[in-house]
Amino acid sequence: MKIAIASGKGGTGKTTVASSLVSVWGAPLIAVDLDVEEPNLHLFLNPEYTGARTADMEIPKVDSALCSRCGKCSDLCQFKAISLMGEILMTFPEMCHGCGGCLAICPEKALTPDIRELGEISWGRIKTNEFLMGRLRIGEAMSPPLMRTVRKQLHGMMNAGSLDVSPKDVIIDAPPGVSCPAINAVMDSDFIVLVTEPTPFGVYDMKLAREAFTPMDIPMGVVVNRAGLGNSEIYEYCKASGLEILAEIPYDRGVAEAYAKGTIIAESSGAMKDIFLRLAKKLKEKADLPKNPGGAS
């Protein structure tokens, strides 16, 4: 089962929930950090790294001797990454979205693949669990290309086991927001956990997240973090929209201080561990239910 831990608003507790679930899950799983702009999961899980590599994207390289200046590539490119500037065919690598169109359309075979560095992918182990993360190069504007590469590697890891062993569960720490990075992180999952906080910002951004994710027909549930800190608007909204509240993590100064030390919250107290054990149990039960086309769980 693949579970994405997402939110609309940043800082609601995605990594807190993701790392805690990994801690109490009780069966071997793969923990993935897809918040490639600001990955934090490794700070809590402290994996033993077993490998790393740079991730690249294919961009066009021009052989001007073969280029006939027909301009087909320049006309096709929607992103102005390749441009016929008078008599010179120029590329602007940072604009490229890697669609492969120019390489495919060139009638002279004057374009060959070159690379743009996206960032780094690293992987390792936490006890019996596997770990995978991406880290975007600073200055690289787009996170989806790196996220796609990480997800491809994840599929490899998921299918690597022997056939008689059931596939490992996957827990994904997603980036905040509701635009393409968040969509990319949750799109292949079986269940989305929306982590929110009971404040006006939390409610507003959660509504956006629900709107963004609903077209994907993936069942969703809510975890309310810092419960008791704000007002009841979030509960009213969940009730009205049929969203199940899977767990509440009470606001507690002690929890905040544990988080500030890098402690996995499920390991900070018996009470917290119980909360996450119950959440994990509920999520595992979701795996056995038929998919609900409405999107709400």
Q: By CB under 8 A, what part of segment 245-274 binds another protein?
A: 256-257, 259-262
Binders of another protein among 119-148, rule CB under 8 A?
A: 136, 138-143
Of residues 17, 106, 174, 178, which one binds another protein by CB under 8 A? 178
Binders of another protein among 206-225, rule CB under 8 A?
A: 208-209, 211-213, 215-216
Of residues 33, 130, 169, 205, which one binds another protein by CB under 8 A? 205
Binders of another protein among 15-54, rule CB under 8 A?
A: 15, 37-38, 40, 43-44
Measure the CA–CA gap between 103 and 59, rounded to whole angstroms: 9
The size of the interface with another protein (CB under 8 A), counted in residues, is: 72
Binders of another protein among 89-108, rule CB under 8 A?
A: 90, 92-95, 97-101, 104-105
Residue 83 Cβ vs another protein, minimum distance, rounded to whole Å: 5
Continuous H helices in the chain:
14-24, 41-45, 72-76, 101-105, 144-158, 180-186, 200-213, 233-241, 253-260, 270-286
Of residues 187, 245, 277, 296, which one binds another protein by CB under 8 A? 187
163: left (phi over 0), alpha (psi -120 to 50) or beta: alpha
Measure the CA–CA gap between 170 and 183, rounded to whole angstroms: 17
Of residues 121, 183, 224, 265, which one binds another protein by CB under 8 A? 183
Cα-Cα end-to-end distance for the chain? 15
Local structure of residue 296 (DSSP, 8 states):
B
